[in-house]
Chains A and B, each alone.
Chain A
Amino acid sequence: MTDLISTGYITVFILYALTFFSCFMNWNGVSCLLSIMALAVNGSILAGIAIVSSQPPVFEIFGGLLFVAFILGILGVFCCRAEDGKLNVKTWVWIEILLLFGITLFFLKEPPPHRYHHAYPWVVLFHGFRCLALSFALFSSAHFIRFRREPVRKRVNNPLFKQGRNFLLLSAVAFLCAEYSGIIWCQNGWGDFWHWSPAFFQSTLIILCLMAAFHIPGKNPRADDLRSVVAVMTPILMLTIKVVKGLP
């Protein structure tokens, strides 16, 4: 089964790379077909990991980032508007997915060993919501990057800015759900909902980053630029923390 997962991983990596290339070349029909094939293989690998390890693929870097890529891919296929131009939102989504796959190259590509607390619902929800939050934040950042690349940026009429903001807010909701699951886990495991530890400080840092993105004042282009920069920085921070935590 591990060999099958490794083969599937290489296949899906190639499929996502081809999807990116066809999207960049504006071959819309081909990119749509390739993206659906990539999603199907990605979903199959996740199912394989879940079957072999008897736990959802959200705990380790390999499974977690594949799950994030899967959700991001679904959003890219079904929630992106048709756009002209080579570097549109969809292209940025495929670039982000390739970045996630690039990170997984440095980690073990096999199902994680069974740990008893991985069957605990609040632990599963904590990791699952974190992965969802990262997917939504990456989708939001694809919109903000595209917004930043527009020659003339007007926020009031800009659907890119609005969609970016919508998904960043959705990411904040998912992240807070993860935090709530986390505090229940902590309360039941350590007798308190707060712990003075790097993990808690990192989570708070992400929440503060999300809060900052929504509190930057002003209705001028400079304020929008700053908002979009902070919004793009948020998933980078989330991803960095996830990768650092996953290091052996």
Chain B
Amino acid sequence: MKRFFDQLSSMQFTTLILAVLMLWFAWGILLAESDTFRQGFNVMNGSLVPVWFSEPRRLPFLLKLWFVGLCSVMVILGVNLVFCSWTKIIKIMRNKQTASRFVMLIIHIVFGLVALGHFGSFLLGYRYENVKLGTNQSFTLPEGYVVTIKDIHFGDDPKLLYQRPKRRTPGAFHPEANFCEVALTQNGNPVARGKIYFLRPFTWKDIQVTLQRFTPPKGGGNRDRTSFNPDVRLIISRNPVKLLVFVLFPAMIAGIGIYMVMTWRTRPSPEIKFKVKQEETKL
């Protein structure tokens, strides 16, 4: 049994799992680049895990297999991380390890929590992509919340909406001049109100309303700049573990930075020099 636990906490096992994960993501790249599975990945981006598995034909079988395989390998990596960390904790308690090893242990624990946060974001909350709304139109969310578009401001040339972003003349689009105003209510009571610009979403607690794009009004509408009133396409999401990941990720980077400073050496440490000298004396 001890040998089995030793195997589970070994670095050989970690390297093996990392190699498998690299192959898995390489396969993922091939799948995501293929036209056959692109739509499947769009479904994955537009909703959370429970939706992917709710209907049999929602997601191709191969993508489901790929995702389940990825989760399985990550679980095995997690088991390895727990056993490895436990072994390190015991060693630290016996005062056999240096301070840098202690920092490394913390980094590993934080990494585990960041990975858990990532996994949690696939399961918890909700996500609605491509929500197309016009002025005074609403979208109903769980727990009695409703998002209403109060006004849409598009200050640039309406022709831009009929062009692909990469085909636009550089500088033609002004992100500060184009925005929409939203209001959030819960059970009919106003909760919050704000403006959404590109890359500046509206957030209230865990709920985020993100501006995806402006779209031409139904039927083309009037292309006159003064009376032009486009629709907006939004992403409405709620991610309860967002804060956890956004706090722990920089903590992990800081930990690695501290570890790097603590172990930055171009010459062997006195401890290693002593060990080498001892070995040379033995020989």
Contact = CB atoms under 8 A, between A and B. Distances in A.
Interface string B1-38: 00000000011101100110110011011001100000
B210 interface: yes
Interface in B203-255: 208, 210, 212, 235-237, 239, 242, 245-246, 249-250, 252-253
Nearest to A176: B253
A115 interface: yes
A130 B10 CA distance: 31
Interface string A174-215: 001101100111011111111111100110110011011001
Contacts, number: 132
Interface string A137-171: 00000000000000000001101001100100110
A190 B127 CA distance: 11
Interface residues of A, number: 47
Given A156-B276, A157-B268, A215-B14, A166 B25 contact: no
Interface stretch (B88-96, B136-144, B145-153, B193-201): B193-201
A117 B275 CA distance: 55
Q: What DSSP secondary structure best describes chain B's contact surface?
A: helix
B69 interface: no
B18 A195 contact: no
A216 B174 CA distance: 50
A177 B253 contact: yes
A57 to B, nearest CB: 16
A100 B193 CA distance: 50
Contacts of B25: 201, 204-205, 208
A201 B175 CA distance: 29
B58 interface: no
A137 to B, nearest CB: 14
Band of interface residues on B:
35 or more
Contacts of B18: 208, 211-212, 215
Interface in A89-124: 113-117, 120
9 contacts: A117-B199, A156-B276, A190-B212, A196-B44, A196-B45, A197-B32, A198-B32, A208-B22, A212-B18
Q: Which 5 A-B pairs have the closest CB atoms?
A: A217-B11, A191-B235, A191-B210, A113-B170, A191-B237
Interface of B: 10-12, 14-15, 18-19, 21-22, 25-26, 28-29, 32-33, 41, 44-45, 118, 121-122, 127, 129, 170-171, 173-175, 198-201, 208, 210, 212, 235-237, 239, 242, 245-246, 249-250, 252-253, 256-257, 259-260, 263-268, 272, 275-276
